[in-house]
Amino acid sequence: MTEGETQSKHRELVNIIRRHDYAYYVQAVPAVSDHEYDRLYKELIDLERRFPACITPDSPT
């Protein structure tokens, strides 16, 4: 995975998780199952562990 691909994937996961957080915590209407949310969150954590340079202050991890 190139640096650009890593940053793009990280941004995508952060945005998806933030949208799901908003739907769950603000709108009280979960958009995905807990299992799917946990899978996305774990994917983000794994990506940040492999590529710590891509971690941003707005990351939900």
Q: Is residue 22 part of a domain?
A: yes
In order, the DSSP letters of 15-55 are HHHHHHHIIIIIS---SS-HHHHHHHHHHHHHHHHH-GGG-
Tell me the CATH number at 37. 1.10.287.610
Whether 60 maps to a domain, the answer reads no
Residue 1 above 90 pLDDT? no
State residue 55's pLDDT score: 95
Q: What integer pLDDT is reported at residue 48 of this predicted model?
A: 98
pLDDT in tens, 10-61: 999 999 999 999 999 999 999 999 999 999 999 999 999 999 999 999 999 9
Q: Quote the domain boundaries for residue 36.
A: 3-54
Q: How many domains does the chain have?
A: 1
Quick check: is 61 in a domain? no
Q: Is the dihedral of CA 7, 9, 13, 18 positive or negative?
A: positive
Is 45 part of any domain?
yes
User: How confident is the model at residue 56, as a pLDDT?
Assistant: 94
Q: 11 near 48, Cβ under 8 Å?
A: no
Map tokens 């949310």 to a residue: 37
Can you give the pLDDT at residue 18?
98
